[in-house]
Amino acid sequence: MAAKLFLAIAAISGFIFVALGAFGAHGLSHVLNEKEMAWLQTGLQYQSIHTLALLVVALMMLFVTSHWLTVGAVCFIIGTLFFSGSLYTMAIFHIKIWPYITPLGGLFFLVGWLALLVSALTLTVKG
């Protein structure tokens, strides 16, 4: 059940990544300044990496039993929302309170990768 949910969230995140990337390149490039475009690009880069990581984790969950995979997946989702989302909000909507959320998103990314490490060291294969 969790694998299906995480696969769906990865698909939604991938869709948002592609749509926002295209909109940024074609619709926002004339509106945003250089710094704002850099924030947008950084958010897109991290979202793309962690969308793929979430996809891999969700697929792994079909074959491997590990509580730590769930922890990693949840951390990647929260990290993407906080890290990439805050950069998008700063770039597009000029809301400056979000810089305090960005490092928290980065922390969730780090915890997610550590959870994958723990999972790799303690995994049990289904079957």
- Entry pTM: 0.93
- Pick left, alpha or beta for residue 32 (phi over 0 → left; psi -120 to 50 → alpha; otherwise beta): beta
Q: Is the pLDDT of residue 127 over 70?
A: no
Mean pLDDT (the chain) is 93
Residue 95 buriedness (CB in 10 A; 0-12 / 13-18 / 19+): exposed
* Tens-place pLDDT, residues 28-85: 888 899 999 999 999 999 999 999 999 999 999 999 888 999 999 999 999 999 999 9
